[in-house]
Structure 1
Amino acid sequence: MIVKSPYLKCGGSNSVSGYLRYIGTRERVELLPGNRPPTRKQEQLITKLVKDFPNSQELDEYSDYATKHTKANASTFITRALEENWAAVQQSEGYMKYIATRPRAERLGDHGLFGDEDGVDLATTMDELDRYTGNVWTHILSLKREDAARLGYDNAKAWMNLLRANRNDIAAAMNIPPNHFRWYAAYHDEGKHPHVHMMAWSTVPDEAYLTREGIRKIKSTLANQIFRQEMLHTYEQKSYSRDELVWEARRAIHRLIQEMARSIYTYPEAEELMQTLSAQLETVKGKKSYGYLPKPVKKTVNEVVDRLEELPVVRECYNQWCALQSEVDSYYHDKTREKKKLSQEKEFRQIKNAVIQEAERIRLGEITFEDADLTGHDEPEQGWGESYACWELRQIIRDESLSLADRDDAVEELERLAERGDAYAQYLMGQLYRDGHLLIPDSQKAKDWFTQASGHGLPEAQYALGKILLSNDPEVREPDEGIRWLKEAAAQGNSWAAYRLGKEYLGGEVVSKDATRATAWLTQSAEAGNQYAQYMLGKLYLTGQGVTHDQTQAMVWFGRSAAQGNQYAQLFLERQNEIRPPSVMLAATRLLYHMSRIFENHSLPQSGAGLHIDRKRRQQLREKRIALGHKPNDHEEEQSQGMTMKGW
């Protein structure tokens, strides 16, 4: 769809009523069959038009004429060139004489004008414009012939209904209150480019103004309506041939996002740039955001993004995104979307700030925990001392092949068992209310059941209670109590509780930062076989944080963790002879994770209709699910496998 929005000045000797009469009464261009050549008069007029108005050579109609010299193409170009340059044309006696003497085709009534109401009085409207002193915009809305025919916009009625339905949106784009908005339009069934001329103005002179953004909004609003059905096909991934590209691209992007999120990369070039950037940030005062950085620092940020784009998974994902975006953009623009370098694509400006944040982490020496995939693995399915009755009910509840009614009955029976004092049944009830698989999520009830089970000395319940009390859910958050229950669980040998305590003392958010205590808790967990604690101890010994620097001891702990499948520990084993800090060696991997989230947020919506939740609200809901114990990717289209960096 093409939208052009020039304007004409009124007042004094300038009158636009002639333009109104012209668009309302001009002939329908004859669709001439065959390849009859243009007349000599047409050729002479085209030569003059191109000389007087060089920009007219940019019109699609001129391209059609230049490609194929026919009488029909000549007539179409002449008409559009005159319309595009009306302000100058009406001052030329020669051009006006040509317009006045053109033959006219049959019309319904005296003219083809329409507006908010039926029965437009041409004389009255022309008189109104003759007395008007403000600017009048002359929008030209054009479709390709094949699109107009396919979508049903090859007649005046369809355009009239469209413009009437969206007149308030057009008024808003022109900064005109709806009650001040005046407009009239006429449909011209032009050769290859049927179009509508729409004159629009405000009843209050000098009130209206139209920016490029306003023109974009008008175009977007109308294109969304015109192409709505085809856009729905794209978003809903129908099996039509033109939508197959969209479907394949979306699947590819999703696959690549998952791969990006769980990939562990060694990329020395990017690591060196990140070290350079972290050093540059030492000299930056104030807000460390891309827009506020000096040019040399911005240059380094861009270089990091350019290096990351060279990674196959990033390059392929970005290529797929560009293809998908081009498919959608084709509904709005005739020009092919220009593919830019990733660092120059405005849609992905967040990547630059992610790079800055990671460089700042390196500069500050912040500790990171590569453990997001442990969610759901830190609570065993079965504990010591579970009664047979509880075990039997748990099997029914977890069996998704059974009917929902049978599983609901098992939950009710489990609750009765919990009320009779069965500690493990109480623990399971807490999980069910926290996770919401068969019960409506209720963090308060989850806390109550975990508390009862913890009172019986069940370490699994004490750990779960500690987690929920440390969550960001305001209904149940009690940090001091959370730490107390974690210590109770750790004292009974729960390695996950000891690991979480180590993290809390390293982070210093709910307890005072204490590297010595953190190391003690991590050591307790690591000696109990916890691979995440073993990995973290390896990092602490490697950096000398909380313990004496000891690379040999670091490699011992990395080895024990890697033996259990920890890929990050394996990375440090393979690069043990390098002298870069751990945060630098993990920089590319961490940035890939951040990029995967950004690509996910910028992929197209799955549906063009229905409930829409904006990105920030979706993130808030996701964080609450995680706080309640859900896996980060619950209810997503696909589950990722292996170790990821979600939750960093």
Structure 2
Amino acid sequence: MRSDSIPKIIVKTKYLKNQRHKEYYLNYIATRDGVEKFQMSHGDKPVTKKQQELIENLLKDYPDSKTIFEYEDYINEPTRRNASEFISAVMDQNLTDIATKENYVDYIANRPRVERLGEHGLFSDSGKKIDLSQVVQEVGKHEGTVWTHIISLKREDASRLGYDHAQGWVDLCRAKRNELAEAMRIDSNNLQWYAAFHNEGHHPHIHMVVYSKEPRQGFVTNQGIKKIRKMFASEIFHQDLMNIYKNQTEARDELKNYSQKTVQELLKEIGQKDHLENGIIIEKFLALKESLKDYQGRLMFAYIPKESKQLVNDIVRELEKEEHVQKLYEQWNLYRQSVFETYNGSLQEQLPLLEQKEFKSIKNMILKEVMNYDVNAVTYDEQLPSLQVPELDIVVEDVESEKVDDIPQNLTTNLSARYRLEWSKNYKMACKLFYGSDDVQQDIEQAKSLLKEECDQHNILGYELLAKVLEIENKENPESYDLYKEALQGSLEILSTDKNDFIQSYLQYKTGKFYYYGKGCEQDYEKAYHHFSQSDSEYAMYCLGRMYQRGYYVEQSDKTAFEYFDKSATKGNAFANYEVGTYYDRGTAVPKDEKQANLNYEIAYRKFEGMLKNSEDDNLLYRLGEMNYYGKGVEKDTESAKKYLEKAISFDNKNAKYLLATIYLKEYDYANIPQAIKWLEESENPQALYLLGKEYLKGILVEQDKKKAVHYLTLSAEQKNSYAMYALAKVFLNDINYMDPDKGISYLQNASSLGNEYAQIMLGNIYLKGEHVEKNVDAAISYLQMASDKNNSFAQYMLGKLFLFGKEVEQDKEKAKSYLEQAAIQGNTYAMYLLEHMDDYHHQPLVLMTTRLLHHISRIFTKTVPDNSKSPLAGVDKKLAKKIKEKKIAQGHNAKDHEINMR
């Protein structure tokens, strides 16, 4: 991005002196006496000698004037017009040196080209009528310090963004008053400010007068001025910044690809004789190792001896000379510059890599690698920090929805019994009124009325649906539980008395659902399984598939789960078609088959649409929303997905809440992020709790809170979410405030037993190193083999390296080659290197150590450029999200609101 295309803002802050100055100077500034006048028709002619002399004098008196827009214009094009604009701007911005406080207020309110808001141009807080003469006296008599701010834009930016008229600035200043107070260390209740908009030709701007009603309050530092500039810039250029971040995201992806390509090239070249091995870097590494051989202190750059520090610095300097690192650093500086200019209005100093604070970690990385270097040692975790856990699919519950139209006509139980099961006319109409359909408008109250009549007739279907209606209206309504309990009791009694095959099958399924979800009873998967197993209903088969899929009561088995889903789909259950499609889509328990996956998705989608016409069931709405969002069985359509999900949420569908919350978070839909967090916090869905825990752990879209993160991840882990277990393990093994190795290992073992390949890799690495546990190579190989069986390239690389070097196990080059080839096919660059150098590995520990260092540097480059995994503003300033939240609180929002931006 070119520098001149970046939006900029200039902020000048001074304070008014108490002493009086000659009136001549005030009149001189106000009327521009002494400033050479020119006809507009002559404005494009070269600057006059008199103007040049005046500019030279002004620059001597006010050298910081070189930073303002007008000077930039004058230097680029030294015309009479630009010279006059610059002279006026300098005098304007330094008026505080020659004016009394009273005159300054009067000047900014009445000077030429001020936009009047009534009799003058002064404005302040909303609802405050301004009497200019009274304000002039008030400011003049104020005993404390009175500050002035001049905020200036380029004309093209002001016109484009709506700041070429007073009202835009009025709204902006009022919205920013509390942030301004904070930056100036003034209690917001004591803040007093006035401003006026001056519509200058090239650079429209405002003058602000700011002070505290409490004379002893208020203090402005250079950091405070930066905050003021940043708060105005982030608001004025919000849309521009979004575009910059979008471009930077694309640039970051480009950079990441470039980085990966670079590392691949390095790995290919690194074994050559004229590469790093005969350079200064290797020599410095070995010298550093020797200088630290007797060192016993903390292994951090700040603590090591001076001689060793010099060697570390030499290594960093040499690394910067490497062609690939040099190119990466040039790109990194280019992308960072675009944001810096927006906030600071000036060029950022280009520092050597050694002095760039974002890369300080390289020094400690060098120390760690050098001290761990042993020609006889072999390491296995080159890529462990870069392992990325994939996004998880939603664990959905309660998605099956039986079709009432499939029920045999006029089928009912013995009407003389205590309970009855009847798909009566009133019940069917209540279903339509509750959900709404193509021919019946939704009417909840009328549905409730009909269902109450069915309950009076002891129809268990009426009990169940009325319980659901009341549960949606109020989750805590005890009547809902009582109605479910009545429905369950009726189902059990009818099962014991009515021997009709269809009723037996149907009620075994319904009774199983009561126990499965704990509706009207304690949740009991064993009883649920017992009842589902005695039904030949396609819906019971679907539920059995779910139980085997999740390992509820039965041993987890995707193979058995698929068999039940397939049987259910064959009998016409569209929800089962969806699951079968998912298994073929992922290649789980069956060979991956895109054609079969799409076929089943399309069948499911078509059936769901047909079912929806008769009843807008929330489970149908959820599935249609989810399929539109991911493009399953239909073209991807996010807007249609949202509409389906919003409708499902009106029926309190938990899955829809979770998915829509996920969409809001992914899209950085700031206005809806508080609602998204609220839905996740209310959810009992293990995946929702996992997502919530991760958000609190990252602290990007919500304020970081490790305690909450651990809480929600624990709730998710308790529901057998292996990814939550893995996340918790990393906290307990790595976070100094939560360090508990035993708990961390336990979580990894539990996650591994559930098939989590990332936990298996981490355990393999831990047992290889003997960290937190006794070293056990056999256990390490066992865990790595589990992950390798899932075709994990990193596990395959580690196993290949183990058998190639033969340090921990008996050397087996054939085994090593097999594992390394499997990893290399998937793009593992370390495996590629080892395959190419299988017979030349005496120097590989040193070579791979330097390569790890280069990997570390490339990761820093990609991480320090803003990406779409962060809030757009978070990549620029880590504190900005917090500041925006504080602003919203100051405007009256609840402190627990999690929103980043109200747009």
Indicate whether the TM-score tops 0.5. Answer: yes
Structure 2 equivalent of residue 574 of structure 1 = 837
Structure 1 equivalent of residue 256 of structure 2 = 254
Structure 2 CA distance for partners of 1:252 and 1:496, relative to 1, 3 Å:
closer
Structure 2 equivalent of residue 427 of structure 1 = none
Letter in 1 for 2:584: D
Q: 1:512, CA displacement in angstroms? A: 1.7
Q: 1:218, CA displacement in angstroms? A: 0.9
Query: Does 1:3 pair with 2:10?
Result: yes
Match of 1:399 among 553, 576, 584: 584
**Distance in 2, Cα, partners of 1:293 & 1:202:** 49
Residue 34 of structure 1 aligns to a residue whose secondary structure is helix
Alignment check: 8 A CA contact 1:531 1:560 kept: no
Match of 1:326 among 321, 331, 337: 337
Q: 1:298, CA displacement in angstroms? A: 3.8
Structure 2 equivalent of residue 34 of structure 1 = 41
1:459-608 matches, cutoff 5 A: 479=745, 503-513=765-775, 532-541=798-807, 553=811, 561-562=819-820, 568=830, 571=833, 574=837, 580=843, 582-606=844-868
Q: 1:191, CA displacement in angstroms? A: 2.7
Query: Does 1:211 pair with 2:221?
Result: yes
Query: Does 1:389 pair with 2:655?
Result: no
Match of 1:186 among 157, 172, 196: 196
The alignment yields a C-alpha RMSD, in angstroms, of 5.6
**Distance in 2, Cα, partners of 1:387 & 1:191:** 73
Alignment check: 8 A CA contact 1:148 1:154 kept: yes
Query: Does 1:198 pair with 2:208?
Result: yes
- Larger RCO (CA within 8 A; separation ≥ 6): 1
1:55-83: CA deviation from partner (whole Å, max 9, x where unpaired): 55665434545665655434433322223
Residue 399 of structure 1 aligns to a residue whose secondary structure is helix
**Distance in 2, Cα, partners of 1:119 & 1:374:** 58
Alignment check: 8 A CA contact 1:65 1:77 kept: yes
Structure 2 CA distance for partners of 1:498 and 1:337, relative to 1, 3 Å:
closer
Query: Does 1:358 pair with 2:369?
Result: yes
**Distance in 2, Cα, partners of 1:473 & 1:523:** 22
Alignment check: 8 A CA contact 1:137 1:201 kept: yes
Residue 243 of structure 2 aligns to a residue whose secondary structure is helix
Alignment check: 8 A CA contact 1:263 1:592 kept: no
Match of 1:134 among 144, 148, 153: 144
1:220-231 matches, cutoff 5 A: 220-231=230-241
**Distance in 1, Cα, partners of 2:28 & 2:869:** 43
Q: 1:165, CA displacement in angstroms? A: 0.8
Structure 1 equivalent of residue 447 of structure 2 = none
Letter in 2 for 1:202: S
Structure 2 CA distance for partners of 1:66 and 1:602, relative to 1, 3 Å:
closer
**Distance in 1, Cα, partners of 2:841 & 2:51:** 77
**Distance in 2, Cα, partners of 1:17 & 1:208:** 29
Alignment check: 8 A CA contact 1:523 1:534 kept: no
Q: Which moved more, 1:126-135 or 1:302-311?
A: 302-311
Residue 536 of structure 1 aligns to a residue whose secondary structure is helix
Structure 2 CA distance for partners of 1:105 and 1:530, relative to 1, 3 Å:
closer
Structure 2 CA distance for partners of 1:297 and 1:73, relative to 1, 3 Å:
same
Query: Does 1:120 pair with 2:305?
Result: no
Q: 1:399, CA displacement in angstroms? A: 2.3
Alignment check: 8 A CA contact 1:249 1:320 kept: no
Match of 1:149 among 133, 149, 159: 159
Q: Structure 1: which 5+ runs fail to align?
A: 238-242, 377-382, 410-433, 448-463, 490-494, 548-552, 617-648
Letter in 2 for 1:604: P
Structure 2 CA distance for partners of 1:151 and 1:295, relative to 1, 3 Å:
farther
**Distance in 1, Cα, partners of 2:80 & 2:759:** 84
Structure 2 CA distance for partners of 1:272 and 1:24, relative to 1, 3 Å:
same
**Distance in 2, Cα, partners of 1:350 & 1:322:** 18
**Distance in 1, Cα, partners of 2:727 & 2:346:** 55
Alignment check: 8 A CA contact 1:175 1:209 kept: yes
**Distance in 2, Cα, partners of 1:206 & 1:18:** 32
Structure 1 equivalent of residue 506 of structure 2 = none
Q: 1:563, CA displacement in angstroms? A: 5.7
Letter in 2 for 1:83: D
Alignment check: 8 A CA contact 1:8 1:87 kept: yes
**Distance in 2, Cα, partners of 1:57 & 1:254:** 38
**Distance in 2, Cα, partners of 1:496 & 1:56:** 57
Q: 1:227, CA displacement in angstroms? A: 0.8
Alignment check: 8 A CA contact 1:113 1:185 kept: yes
Q: 1:156, CA displacement in angstroms? A: 1.9
Structure 2 CA distance for partners of 1:200 and 1:576, relative to 1, 3 Å:
farther
**Distance in 1, Cα, partners of 2:727 & 2:368:** 29
**Distance in 2, Cα, partners of 1:514 & 1:172:** 57
Residue 116 of structure 1 aligns to a residue whose secondary structure is coil
**Distance in 2, Cα, partners of 1:615 & 1:46:** 37
Structure 2 CA distance for partners of 1:133 and 1:23, relative to 1, 3 Å:
farther
**Distance in 2, Cα, partners of 1:287 & 1:222:** 44
Structure 2 CA distance for partners of 1:603 and 1:194, relative to 1, 3 Å:
same
**Distance in 2, Cα, partners of 1:253 & 1:161:** 39
Q: 1:208, CA displacement in angstroms? A: 1.6
Q: Which moved more, 1:566-575 or 1:151-160?
A: 566-575
**Distance in 1, Cα, partners of 2:783 & 2:867:** 42
Q: Structure 2: which 5+ runs fail to align?
A: 1-7, 271-275, 391-556, 568-578, 586-597, 608-684, 692-712, 733-739, 790-794, 879-903
1:527-551: CA deviation from partner (whole Å, max 9, x where unpaired): x99774342144353xxx688xxxx
Q: 1:151, CA displacement in angstroms? A: 1.5
Equivalent pairs counted in the alignment come to 538
Letter in 2 for 1:513: K
1:133-154: CA deviation from partner (whole Å, max 9, x where unpaired): 3322221111112211221211
Structure 2 CA distance for partners of 1:89 and 1:45, relative to 1, 3 Å:
farther
1:140-174: CA deviation from partner (whole Å, max 9, x where unpaired): 11111221122121122211211111011111111
Structure 2 CA distance for partners of 1:286 and 1:112, relative to 1, 3 Å:
farther
1:276-312: CA deviation from partner (whole Å, max 9, x where unpaired): 3344444555443344455543443344344444555
**Distance in 2, Cα, partners of 1:520 & 1:606:** 37
Q: 1:253, CA displacement in angstroms? A: 1.8
Letter in 1 for 2:252: R
Alignment check: 8 A CA contact 1:261 1:592 kept: yes
